[in-house]
Structure 1
């Protein structure tokens, strides 16, 4: 892994720090405007809605244009949007919805170009290591450092976390600008739907997509009113809410760093994560009444999520043709992330009508059912090669 990889990795980690700050600060900002669970869930809904609308066009652009230039443009746009949010933070809740939508739209581009850029800067046999480090650094920045910092900055001054977030995107853009990659000549306009069709024809990727989409739907359901869960069930303040989110990072860091070794040594690693994740959620909602207990379950859940992410990302980068990688990745993003606005809406409505614990019970039930139905397919197609240290599925 050379200079380009480390610049890309550093830029990703710094921008993830800003995302972590934003993750805690935006719902806290919403609670200063309203305490209505439906309206607060609306912030998550509009923030996730662009994954349905912009994922496929972003993937087509990633396969057609120079990925580094697209990434730079997206980072500067996000920087400008964060500065705008900082300046008008006391506006109506509808303004928060609009800003969440625009920021989510801009985020589609880095996610689409990230997969091709990683593949272009890392040798094939090092993909697990690269993805593991990427997951670990993002877990530290996005979940461990970012949310507590966002909560603390919010307590100091309401616009402070958004100004710091703008700064992180600017620094990330400067790092990416130092990458020296071969300039890509724009190709003929690719068809965005080709990536979706390729994804649907690949049995293993199709199974992975269903499991990942269900997981994200369930997470969106619980995250939509998580700030109220933390305040009312755990009695946490703004800074405490940031610390609550940070507990998720501990397992994510360990999972990212250990994924390469676990996938090479244990054949059933991937299927084990499928079973353990909903069990941890069940523990959170049934026996966890304080931050320490919640953290114990959350660490195991985030560990499994990171291992699953490393395995599936590395697999996708290997089996998808380079000229289709942006579109296939975005097609998978469309499905797996596009369900989040639905989850946020369902989570808000469920919490409003049945209480703050209801979304957790629904999430556990749904994720358990889909996970159990997917186990046979995953066991059939997963092949662990000790030489490659990777999961390997047959092509369609």
Structure 2
């Protein structure tokens, strides 16, 4: 059981598990709803992901400064409840035959705002719940939820869309948010009220978080690499379902099953990351896994009808493994290198540069797909991700085996 013996972490983990699963259902079901039910174009489909992630560019940094001033658990509960109401409106509108693409966009924007608040508060809450030396196993367990949800959700979403329809599948995500809120509400460990600055200055507080990331010799290359990876991952993700349906001629259930097989690598990664980092060193493992993400997206670009569909499975398998390994090690390193009073702002800054790149990448994918074709765009995304690893290899990270445990302050 390990870290799951901690009763309140177990509640946090249980809340996260089904919520992650529901979110994975929607991640696949929403573009399928747009393509199969609402007859959306390639650019319109890419805008769906943009609506969810563009909020990071506007609110991400403010959310981090805000999270450092307040107790985070109430934010998590209320964000879940409100997202449940928003996503429930989609199957209700579909049931009464009034669902439009405009409504889907209108749901995704406020849901994106709530997701920003939830994610920043969630990353800030874990170091308040666990001791510093338990953050790596804690993050590994939460990443395992992400992996399990990616595998089960990818397969289940395609089957459920074919069986129930995309709108009702999205309704299951609304129920998962209710589940999460109930478990989060049951956590018993009191959360201390953060120390508020005597003279609050939001701009200065945001600048402190950005300065810690971009002046830190280890965090800066991690942030820049994550930004490039997210940019091209979003570009590929925005058009992948369109490509598989319209160019490779796959049915939703087939897409789900193939994704489920490929994402098995994510489950393996959540189990072995701690052992890999112990044996080979956190930094070496991180460098290899980050490079592997670029290789994986390039392999996915080789997908075509017939036997070449196997490249999609192989690329997804490698991507799932490498993304989870990289995520666990990056988050754990950041939480160890960051002082407690900056956790929210540093988390928000890292999320800002990564998720802030996602809406740009989604638009880029839609624009490139429209101008040059879907297949060419997948190649651009794969090679771009691979090239983005240069920032890691030309940084102090290449000389390290493990991340320093002291709370090093950045220079400047």
Q: TM range, normalised to the smaller chain?
A: over 0.9
1:83-130 superposed Cα distances (whole Å, 9 cap, x missing partner):
112222453222222211111111112211122221122232222221
Matched with 1:200 is 214
TM-score, normalised relative to structure 1: 0.93
Distance change (3 Å), C-alpha of 1:381 and 1:204: farther
Shift of 1:250: 1.0
Contact 1:311 1:391 in 2 (8 A): no
SS at match of 2:16: helix
Contact 1:274 1:371 in 2 (8 A): yes
Matched with 1:64 is 69
Q: Root-mean-square deviation (CA), in Å? A: 2.1
1:354-369 equivalences in 2 (<5 Å): 354-369=372-387
Equivalent of 2:60, from 33, 55, 60? 55
1:150-299 equivalences in 2 (<5 Å): 150-155=157-162, 156-185=164-193, 187-188=196-197, 189=200, 191-267=205-281, 268-286=284-302, 289=305, 290-299=308-317
Shift of 1:254: 1.1
Deviating more after overlay: 292-301 vs 165-174: 292-301
Structure 2 distance, partners of 1:63, 1:373, is 30
Distance change (3 Å), C-alpha of 1:68 and 1:203: same
1:291-318 superposed Cα distances (whole Å, 9 cap, x missing partner):
4332122211221111111111001111
1:198-257 superposed Cα distances (whole Å, 9 cap, x missing partner):
211112111001111111111100111111111134322122232343345311111121
Structure 2 distance, partners of 1:158, 1:20, is 13
Structure 2 distance, partners of 1:383, 1:8, is 31
Structure 2 distance, partners of 1:359, 1:393, is 41
Deviating more after overlay: 251-260 vs 80-89: 80-89
1:145-174 superposed Cα distances (whole Å, 9 cap, x missing partner):
123322333232343112211111001100
SS at match of 2:317: helix
Equivalent of 2:356, from 320, 338, 347? 338
Matched with 1:111 is 119
Structure 1 distance, partners of 2:220, 2:133, is 24
Structure 1 distance, partners of 2:377, 2:206, is 34
Shift of 1:175: 0.4
Deviating more after overlay: 367-376 vs 185-194: 185-194
Question: Between Structure 1 and Structure 2, how many residues are aligned?
Answer: 391
Equivalent of 1:28, from 17, 28, 32? 32
Deviating more after overlay: 338-347 vs 114-123: 114-123
Shift of 1:375: 0.8
Matched with 2:44 is 39
Shift of 1:394: 5.0
SS at match of 2:394: helix
SS at match of 2:148: helix
1:113-152 equivalences in 2 (<5 Å): 113-141=121-149, 143-152=150-159
Contact 1:209 1:335 in 2 (8 A): yes
TM-score, normalised relative to structure 2: 0.89
Q: Which runs of 5+ in 1 are unaligned?
A: none
1:168-194 superposed Cα distances (whole Å, 9 cap, x missing partner):
100110000010132433634453332
Matched with 2:324 is 306
1:236-284 superposed Cα distances (whole Å, 9 cap, x missing partner):
2122232343345311111121111111111421111232221222222
Structure 2 distance, partners of 1:206, 1:311, is 15
1:46-76 superposed Cα distances (whole Å, 9 cap, x missing partner):
1211111121222122111111111101111
Matched with 2:82 is 77
Structure 2 distance, partners of 1:265, 1:296, is 26
Q: Which runs of 5+ in 2 are unaligned?
A: none
1:359-390 superposed Cα distances (whole Å, 9 cap, x missing partner):
222112322222124213154453327xxxx8
